[in-house]
Chains A and B, each alone.
Chain A
Amino acid sequence: MTEHDPKGRGAPGGASRREFLRGSGVAAATAVLTGQATAILDEAQAAAQDSGPKILKGEVELTLKVNGHDHACTVEPRSTLLDTLRDRLDITGPKRVCDRASCGACTAIVDGEPVYSCTTLAVSCQGKTIETLESFDTGEHGVPHAFCKDDGLMCGYCTPGFVTACKAFLDKNPNPTLEEVRKGIDGNICRCGTYVGVLQAALDAAKAMKGA
């Protein structure tokens, strides 16, 4: 019974919530302020010029490395990685559902770590390697194929998040038990109720990935 902690939903891919927050844009947000507070910022910027956090404002030109390609885009400092991928780069695999780090639909892999891209700022991802599920192997040895075969999806809107969390988890835990898989994808929510297929798909994908 001790495992049943209503607030203790893990992050995608098995990182604890705390670790996750450290790695995501919430930390970065302290260094980046929104484009609206520009007047105050101008002064602050002058003061903080050479030391302390870097201050961005207005429009920011950015190059993001997504799925192996460099994408130039214009964002605002407050733009999330998710909105940047979806709205500006037309990379729409990751979905926006809760928009605040509680459902996992937006999961992307940044420098090998799964993150909730809805609470990761795009500007914090400059120079990092971003992977979304569009880049995953869709053949028999890949995670997407296992989800399809085991019907780990219905409407499919949560599915990109589950597939991504699952891939990130399996990359680090190639031989998981069912209980480990449960923990590993506990940061994701499905409304259609596909968990039975999802868990089977994760176990099957673990096996299939070894054949790759």
Chain B
Amino acid sequence: MANWPETTRLIGTRIPRLDGLAKASGKAKYPSDVHPEKMLFGAILYSPHAHAKITSIDTTAAEKLPGVKAIHVVAKAGATLRYQGDFIAAAAATTEEQARDAVRAIKVEYQILPHVVTEEQAMAAGAPAINRGGNVRAGRASVHGLSDQVLAEIEKTVNDLPAAEKDKRRKEEYEKAVNDVLGKADAVVEGTYSLPVITHTCLESHGLTAHWTAADKLTVWASTQGVQVVANELAGAFDLPASNVTVLTDFMGGGFGSKFGADIWGKTAADLAKKTGMPVRLFLDRAQEHLAAGNRPSAAGKIKIGATKDGKVTGLIADTHGTGGFPFPYVYEIPVSTRVHSDVFVNAGGQRAFRAPGHPQACAIMEAAMDDLADKLGVDPLEFRIKNLPTDFHGPLYEAEIAMGAELIGWREKRKPRGQTGTGPIRHGMGMALHQWGGGGAQDKKVSCTIHPDGSVELKSATQDIGTGARTVLAIIAAEILGLNPTDIISNIGNSTFPPGQASGGSTTTPSMSPPCYDAVTKARDELFKKIAAAVNAAPDQLALKDGKLLVKGEPAMSWKDACRKLGMAPVSETGSFVPGLSSVGVGGCQFALVAVDIETGVVKVEKIVAIQDSGLIIDKLTWESQVYGGVIGGLNYGLFEERVMDPTTGVMLNADMEMYRLAGASDIPEIIVRAYEPHEQKARGVIGVGEPPTISTAAAIGNAVSNAIGVRVSQWPMSPRNVLDALALASKEGKA
């Protein structure tokens, strides 16, 4: 058991990242920048069709083109291509232009197969089956809050049925039981809410540069969030001892959950490099990045929820589907609920983990339903939420955060009830939402710390910096313990041969890496004290470090460097492991949005967002804030702009680029107020990650703000002009607006 120091000099302050200047001056070399001698350029041929079989593939002409050194075919004759963007083959050539010519010259004949690319197409009666077991895979209904007796009775009813009917009947029985509860509610709303597929759109596309340094030794520069994952995969693919593969990722241009593995293109780059005996750089082009490199799956839910007139939710029934799953119900204490979820399969690139997988979808659907119910009850949605908070430690946490956020957005003074927002074309509205995340760390990671006789300090671990500032966080911890500055620390990460480090995902990096870093540096410091104590005529426990100096019995005795010189020739080097007490898991958080909606054009402008986030002890306030801002802006994109648009007829993605796949630019950024919720008891929890939580509730809060502004629910995200106008048109048809 260990504790972070009570008072800190660096931890919790605003410290610019160590590699910030390298990035801002163009000197940082990303995996897609690295250019080993004799390197060849790769290009990829991918499926132009949503669903097709390759009947023949001929590379003869391509191989003869100038500069072409090798072609590697992955999808041979007979192979089935399951989506536009599916990998077929790659070429390596002296110049990139030549490599692109080469893949264009590969002759492929396709037998086009029927496709389904939208959920609607996939679920339609008579749709071509593209997945064994059907396009829609219904899960088993889950239930929460029914008494054992009721459950036993339901099981009795279901028991005698044939297997195929059991699930259906169980779902009906569960819904009947919850409907009994809802029947007694004072208000019940039913709504259908949906969110589209969005793509990660990493600015550095997926890929790597492969270099065989010997027949059985492979070095790659990979744009990855898991150097050791990629190393293990490549070692497996080429049957190499794991130690013969080195994956280097000094920098990487965004991953958001989509860049954990070597992928088929990574293996192909290594194959091409092997074939040609030369290093090969192979990265996806922008279109394939959208098509094949992962996405946040779609989500839709038919929700029925009810409450008593004093604002207590009594029950919920959810029938959800999407191209992936998500947790539900979300955040709130719901006494009785049942849910069934169906996965829908389409001929489009598959989902990957995406910043807080499943949560933004869950949050948007849950919070929309909560808001609609509050509206029906005629109560303030903020008060309504507070009445239904979870009963564990999160309850008071949310309450405190909601109070902070409400104050900063001006909820009590400025918010008007839904639809009572004036009569002009521009309507203002306010909305809010709550979120939750884990963000705990792994306990099997290591960091090494070496103190050299020249005073330099080196940390090593096979983690990497996905943009969160991981490198800097480690240096801050070391500098805090050693009484140095972060810039005095050499923080070496992004190398798979270093001690085992955490992959950058799930907000786990900082909580995984901080404890072993603390442990390594503390041990190295103690070892240093032991070694030099005699030379300064003191016992090791009479030594301390402060402001770059060695203190002996509390008095400054010499500089850090002079102290280290007393080591003679031998550095001290220690490896640190997980220590309990320094990290924790589980965060809340809430966000508020203020929007202006033009009801004539449907254009939504977000004017202000307030984000309140807890995450235990914050190591670097500056990079912590950047992560929260970044999460909010990601959520703003999800709330307003992003959507993978598939063409049902041709089966292709219509916006696999960066002009029609819209992301916010500087002019779209509202005023954003970020606050850490960090009273003493939060700090005492230790380190918790913050990458995911702040991106979860933004789209939900924006959706609620839009409904508040225009008086009707826009049930489809994003809050694009089309969806807003559709909602207004529907409401006016139904005589509601």
Contacts and interface: CB of A to CB of B under 8 A. Distances in A.
B658 A151 contact: no
B662 to A, nearest CB: 6
A164 B536 CA distance: 53
Q: Which of B254, B426, B665 gathers most chain A CB within 10 Å?
A: B665
Nearest to A76: B97
B403 to A, nearest CB: 24
B663 A189 contact: yes
B596 to A, nearest CB: 7
Contacts, number: 193
B302 interface: no
A192 to B, nearest CB: 5
Contacts of A138: 21, 25
Interface stretch (B234-242, B338-346, B597-605): B597-605
Contacts of A192: 254, 467, 630
A21 B669 CA distance: 26
B667 A3 contact: yes
Contact of B16 (A1, A98, A148, A188): A148
Interface string B25-39: 111111011010000
B657 A92 contact: no
Nearest to A160: B26
A26 B204 CA distance: 24
A152 B30 CA distance: 18
Interface string B437-472: 000000000000000000000000000001111000
B1 interface: no
Interface string A60-87: 0000000000000000101100010011
Contacts of B20: 147-149, 151, 153
Contacts of A93: 25-27
Q: Which of B95, B469, B623 gathers most chain A CB within 10 Å?
A: B95
Q: Which of B16, B20, B204, B669 gathers most chain A CB within 10 Å?
A: B20
Interface residues of A, number: 66
Contacts of B426: 1
B322 to A, nearest CB: 23
Given A1-B596, A155-B254, A163-B24, A186 B665 contact: yes
Contacts of B252: 155
Given A1-B601, A196-B629, A154 B26 contact: no
Contacts of B358: none
Contacts of B633: 193, 195
A91 to B, nearest CB: 8
A102 B657 contact: yes
A156 B25 contact: no
B493 to A, nearest CB: 14
Interface stretch (A38-46, A49-57, A177-185): A177-185
Given A144-B21, A153-B24, A154-B626, A191 B202 contact: yes
A196 B466 contact: no
Contacts of B605: 1, 4
Q: Which of A92, A102, A151 gathers most chain B CB within 10 Å?
A: A151
A196 B468 contact: no
Contacts of A9: 659, 665
Contact of B26 (A79, A134, A145): A134
B325 interface: no
B253 interface: yes
Contact of B23 (A156, A185, A189): A156
A193 B630 contact: yes
19 contacts: A86-B33, A92-B35, A93-B26, A95-B30, A95-B253, A98-B657, A105-B203, A134-B26, A134-B27, A145-B24, A147-B24, A157-B202, A157-B204, A158-B203, A181-B666, A192-B254, A193-B633, A195-B633, A195-B666
Given A189-B664, A197-B629, 8 more contacts: A7-B659, A95-B32, A133-B25, A144-B21, A155-B255, A157-B204, A157-B254, A186-B665
Q: Which 8 A-B pairs have the closest CB atoms?
A: A93-B26, A157-B253, A193-B633, A156-B23, A155-B467, A148-B20, A193-B630, A154-B467
